[in-house]
Copies of this chain bind each other. A is one copy, B any other.
Amino acid sequence: MSVLSTEVRAGAYADSIVLMQLQSDLQRLDGVLAAGVVMGTAVNLDLLRASDLLDAAAQQAQAEDLIIAIRADTEGQAAAALSQIDTLMKRRKTNDTGDFQPRTLGSALRFVPEASWVSISIPGRYAHRVADEALDLGCHVFLYSDNVTLEDELDLKSKAKAQRRLLLGPDCGSAIIGGVGFGFSNVVRPGPIGLVCASGTGLQAIASEIHQLGSGLSHAIGTGGRDLSSTIRGATARQGLDLLGRDTATQVIVLASKTPDRSVSPEILGQALEIDKPVVVLFSGLAAPGHTLGNLYFARSLTEAAALAVDVARGDLQPSSLRPDKRANGRHLRGLFAGGTLALEAVQVARPFLTPLHSNLGAPGVSDLPDSTVSRGHTILDLGADEYTVGRLHPMMDQRLRLERLEQEAADPETGLILLDVILGRGSQADPAAELAPILDQIQSRQGPPVVALVVGTDEDPQDLQSTAERLRAVGADVFTDVSRGLAHAVRSCVPPPSPLDPSVDLVALQPPAAAINVGLASLREDLVTQDLETVQVDWRPPAGGNDALLAILERMKT
């Protein structure tokens, strides 16, 4: 038999390390069989239940309440353990390192006026206030705290942008700036590769692999996992790409994240395409749009992202130059396909780069056309789809429908580029180029949109591959027999120039910090100190003792 005693402290705050140590200390007390010291979140309640440490009192706890649960042999032992909590906590107060600890950021900065970075790792609900103050004081912010609201993130990043400062995070696990590691960071030799990574462990895995492959890093800029959401729109990633693009120490950039929101991807990749350096892109969860597109290399894994960056930096891989001379100038891609799989691959290549994208293919991230006879925005059509072929020949045998649509697209002032496939082989019509060439010739003579033709076939096919390609080229088409190259060319031509990043952050941001200020976990300060960085710890306490009601009153009195 054993007894379970619980104490719930409403709105109590303690450094997480203190809680961890308190739990260990309690478990060592006489007669204590198990102890749980956690905040009352849903997951923590589940975990207490699974450990048989959840009683009715704890069950009522809120997320901001501290639960201390003790299972002991006797009631006396449980009560004795609970009575020692305050003594144990006082002993374990980790922030107490003996150094002078200013109580505010402002006074810390008077102490180390050369500090350019503030590292913040206090609980998320308090982090916005401190980060905001750090930006006001002109510092860059490494925001390790998680559980920060999306609204607060947007607010902080808007301010950071206006003040030409970096705000890395929230939930930024890792960054390396001018050789100084913040948060969790591996010891990686200096080198030519710069990282812009949404997640901490992604950054660490790529950085470690680059080091293991014998290369090294210039900088690693963490952005936090929500930076490429539709709300934040890559605020930090765009600053990071811009900085690394201008940084002379960086020769290759790695951009890694979960797949960006559909509305954000074109702007981020559009910016990456304009950088005069190779950029390795790893968007987890994205079906890659091929293996390269211009200066972009698409990786399928963390390991491959690192390996590609090292190969490119060493010159083992030469980035292809893809600077199409005919551009769509903000107008739209119109793809008229006879082949469904080619249309699908065109969608896959175009999707991360072009928006809005319409198609009759029903692919994710792509809209149906309200009226299939009229294209809208970027449009990719499979004219061989079932709905077009009831009682009608496949367009590989009879492309009249496509020829009509081709003339229609050419006459549409919204059309910026027309993309076609021409599929040769047995079964296909005897000479598709003979029908296409006169129409393409007309389009060219009227200064219509550029035309890219993907010719699929072999030199032994009945239609004569070479003559087909030559006759299409003669009437102005860009002809590709390599489908990937052709699709990359067509899509690249239609990517609009990215909106300018104004204002941009000064390159000084990437210099090794002269000093830093730490607010939160003392262990993160210690890691900065071991890197010989002068660092001041702020003796931060939750405002109003963590009491939200009181805090709200204090805030109102301020304004």
Distance in angstroms between the alpha carbons of A293 and B340 in the assembled complex: 28
Distance in angstroms between the alpha carbons of A199 and B384 in the assembled complex: 12
The verdict on A461 contacting B186 (CB below 8 Å), with A391-B19, A392-B38, A426-B527 known, is: yes
Task: Report A413-446 CB contacts with B as 1/0, cut-off 8 Å.
Answer: 0000000010111111000000000000000000
Distance in angstroms between the alpha carbons of A177 and B308 in the assembled complex: 39
Q: Is the CB of A42 within 8 A of B387?
A: yes
Distance in angstroms between the alpha carbons of A424 and B388 in the assembled complex: 57
Distance in angstroms between the alpha carbons of A202 and B183 in the assembled complex: 47
Q: A24 to chain B: closest CB distance in Å?
A: 9
Segment 22-68 of A: residues with Cβ below 8 Å from B:
38-39, 41-44, 46-47, 49-51, 63, 66
Distance in angstroms between the alpha carbons of A183 and B339 in the assembled complex: 14
Q: Is the CB of B393 within 8 A of A212?
A: no
Copies in the complex: 2
Q: Is the CB of B342 within 8 A of A483?
A: no
Residues of B within 8 A of A39 (CB): 390-392
Q: A462 to chain B: closest CB distance in Å?
A: 7
Q: Is the CB of B523 within 8 A of A427?
A: yes
Residues of B within 8 A of A173 (CB): 394
Q: Is the CB of B300 within 8 A of A201?
A: no
A residues sitting closer than 8 Å to B (CB atoms) are 16-17, 19-20, 38-39, 41-44, 46-47, 49-51, 63, 66, 123, 146-147, 171, 173-174, 181, 183-189, 199-202, 204-205, 208-209, 211-212, 225, 258-259, 284-291, 298, 300-304, 338-342, 344-345, 348-349, 363-364, 371-374, 384, 386-394, 396-398, 400-401, 404, 421, 423-428, 456-462, 481-485, 487, 523-524, 527, 530-531
Given contacts A43-B372, A186-B461, A302-B483, 20 further A-B contacts (CB under 8 A): A16-B391, A16-B398, A38-B391, A42-B387, A44-B392, A147-B389, A174-B427, A181-B427, A186-B458, A200-B341, A211-B459, A212-B481, A284-B341, A285-B363, A287-B288, A290-B301, A290-B303, A301-B487, A302-B484, A397-B523
